[in-house]
Structure 1
Amino acid sequence: MARAAEMQKAVFGGAQASELERSGGADPLRIPRPYLLFLGDETNPGYAKSAFGIRDWAAEDCVGEYSYGDSTLTLGLPEMTPQVAAQHGAKALVIGIANSGGVILEAWRPHLIAAMDAGLHIVSGMHARLGDVPELAEAARANNVRLIDIRRPPANIPIASGRKRSGKRLLTVGTDCALGKKYTALAMARGFEARGIDVDFRATGQTGILIAGGGIPIDAVVSDFEAGAAEMLSPDAADGHWDIIEGQGSLLHPGFAAVSVGLLFGSQPDAFVVCHDPSRTEVLGYPGTPLPDIAEIIEATILLGKRTNPAIRCGGISLNTKSYDAQEAQALIEETARRYGLPAADPIRGGPHFEALLDSCLA
């Protein structure tokens, strides 16, 4: 996976076109690039995960960063006003921070309006809708720019057909939420491309969509249409082409299993990778609910997944070892591989174990 623009070129062309015609014209979300990343007056890096994710995986699409007031947060990008960013080619200002409740703060509004006055579109992954703020809606009309809410799925998503599609697909699944499904998918897409394989990363969540420049926010799709959205996102492709699909939720999660089932059925993965954080013992945010074992996730994924792809198989295990030093991580990776009889790796650490994981998925 090289540049994000190249990585996502097949999302909106070729095989996708005929698939969209069959689905009544539904179209995955497209984001104008490159970006100016808005950090507001934030000081805590923990609230800027989207901005850091975009910087880490789509640096070529980042013109600069924009903050104000007492902000001490930086991405290490050039600090620019919207006017300067527009002169450097920026097409959109992306709200790269989050807050409790996902609201558009009143203090942000003059800065967002200034960006629109400079000709930039505004992109938000917040729960609140940009267009519901009257002064933002008026500024967008006056400047002929778009207010883009990432968590708003495209119109006319079809009911899933269950039809087997050409090409190959890999889905990242997890023992829990927020443990590395997106980073695993991105790293694997990069690994496939390094081997000369025709591959696309298919984004299903807020940050992934911003990294890729397009996708479908699968957790915002009405449940009956989730599998159809996944079919639309990974259409017919050449036999040697791989779509690597960003997973969401977990099949055995008490709150978010539904999105995982729809994504699994619609993706029809030929291979899947189980993502796991070995430092966790309980489901995140659900005290007293034990974390499922990797074997349970493999069994559940195959049981359900073979309904739309009887040939589904587990390609291996992705471990999030950020809580461990290098020696501890190595020991965990090797023990996990022995225990489950599958390749295991931390894709961010890379190395021979990760290459073995890629080999297994491509086998």
Structure 2
Amino acid sequence: MSTLSLQHQKIAILTDGYSTPFLAKTAISLLRYRTDDIAAVIDRAGAGSTAQELFGTGGDIPVVSSLDDVAEADAVYLGIAPPGGKLPEEWRPLIVDALRRKMDVVSGLHDFLCEDAEYLHTANQAGAKLVDVRRNRHKSTAMGRPFRQGGVRIHSVGHDCSIGKMVTTLELQRGLVAAGQDAKFLASGQTGIMISGEGVPVDCVVADFVSGAAEELVAENQQHDFLLIEGQGSISHPSFSAVTLGLLHGVAPDGLVFCYEAGRTQVKGLDNIDIPEMKAQIDAYETMANLRHRCKFIGIAVNTRRLGDEQAKAELARVESEFNLPACDVYRTGSERLVAACIALREQVVSQ
């Protein structure tokens, strides 16, 4: 397998000094989706509390002040995704301590651990590993290869960044498995890779090879009946549309799920740039996808975190009526309607 693979069983998540919902998104997702694998969260200010109290998820997982308080772990995962992806220098003593204890250190940041002389020397001396999730050696272009007949690829796309494409894809995979289906989540970003243990960090793949890396990821997993592929960026985002299109053509989806955050009107990270209207984006995605492989939208996932219960209900009804597609908030209302749409799509694909 050419994709990155992680096999750690007990993890200490490091968020010390950065334990906010905005900065610690990676930690929160790990706590939600790898709960049984998390031994502790390291945050001095929150020591003595639980992950549930600190982050609103993770139950009774303890928050501790140092590795001395971690009963058992084979790795430390850096649980933050700050703007710019910089590695906090104040974490150096703890990272060195972890390596000396023969614990692997896993990072999804843009500052690579393996390019730091002290970290590299300490890891080599102790026999520990430095794992930079974004570091990769993908150097193959896509070949437009055919995939297994009967396998269905569902790809989450959206109107902007950081709206819930990964969460939607994970919840669809969970829902399909609960319904007795053979389904696998395929990660395309650092947090998804840390959750699932494998994947391709497409935002750090050289541009010519993005589609090839995505195609290879699908080819390595096409024995499953359903592949749920995490989306990245947005087809209309001035900064990230190239990654979005490369991923779209590489995975050649049969079905798309459109994700958006209700109430968000401007592009994340760029002041005063409006997000194009939803219909224009949906049309663009469908046109671009069909240039590679026959594809259609099967549903809409709405992030309603800004809305009250009645407002959320009205928004879901509105978008369903406008686009004649099933809509849900996978957290608030569950993923059942989108799961049913995935199963219906496979029945159509298999019968063709």
TM-score by length of 2: 0.88
Q: Which residue of 2 aligns with 1:165?
A: 147
Q: How far is the alpha carbon of 1:238 from its aligned partner? A: 6.0
- What is the identity, as a one-letter code, of the residue corresponding to 1:42? Y
**Distance in 2 of aligned mates of 1:237 and 1:41:** 38
Unmatched runs of 5 consecutive residues or more in structure 2? 53-60, 345-352
Give yes or no for the alignment of 1:330 onto 2:305: no
Which residue is 2:96 aligned to?
113
Return 5+ residue gaps in structure 1 as ranges: 1-19, 21-26
State the identity %: 34
Match among 49, 53, 59 for residue 25 of structure 2: 49
The structure, 1 or 2, with the larger RCO (C-alpha pairs under 8 Å, 6+ apart) is 1
Does the C-alpha gap of structure 1 residues 211 and 239 become closer, same or farther in structure 2, counting only changes over 3 Å?
closer
CA distance in 2, matches of 1:288, 1:106: 33
Matched residue, 1:253: 237
Q: Is the counterpart of residue 207 in structure 1 residue 188 in structure 2?
A: no
Structure 1 counterpart of 2:41, from 56, 65, 78: 65
Query: Structure 2 vs 1, CA of residues 288 and 40 (structure 1 numbering), >3 Å: closer, same or farther?
Result: closer
- Partner-residue secondary structure (3-state), 1:234: helix
Matches within 5 A, 1:302-317: 302-310=286-294, 312-317=295-300
| Aligned-partner SS, 2:12 | strand
Q: How many residues align?
A: 331
Check the 8 A contact 1:164/1:268 in 2, yes or no: no
Q: Does 1:127 align with 2:110?
A: yes
Superposed displacement of residue 280, structure 1: 1.1
Alignment of 1:1-363 (within 5 A): 27-34=2-9, 35-68=11-44, 70-71=45-46, 75-76=51-52, 77-79=61-63, 81-82=66-67, 85=70, 88=72, 90-153=73-136, 155-166=137-148, 167-235=151-219, 241-310=225-294, 312-351=295-334, 354-363=335-344
Cα distance between partner residues in 1 of 2:226 and 2:142: 20
Q: What is the CA-CA distance between 1:314 and the residue it aligns to? A: 0.4
Q: Distance in 2 between matches of 1:156 and 1:320?
A: 33
Q: 1:180 to 1:66 in 2, by over 3 A?
A: same
Counterpart code for 1:286: L
- What corresponds to 1:5 in structure 2? none
CA drift at 1:100: 4.7
Shift of 1:156: 4.3
Q: CA deviation at 1:157?
A: 3.7
Does the CA-based 8 Å contact 2:138-2:213 persist in structure 1?
Answer: no
Supply the distance in 2 between the matched residues of 1:78 and 1:142 (Cα, whole angstroms).
30
The answer to whether the Cα contact below 8 Å between 2:138 and 2:209 also exists between their aligned partners in 1 is no
1:250-308 deviations in Å (ceiling 9; x for gaps): 11111111001100001110101000112112222233322122222221122111122
Residue 84 of structure 1, CA deviation: 5.7
Change (3 A) 1:46 1:283: closer
Distance (Å, rounded) in 2 between the aligned partners of 1:203 and 1:297: 23
2:326–2:337 Cα contact (<8 Å) kept: yes
Q: Distance in 2 between matches of 1:210 and 1:239?
A: 22
Shift of 1:74: 5.6
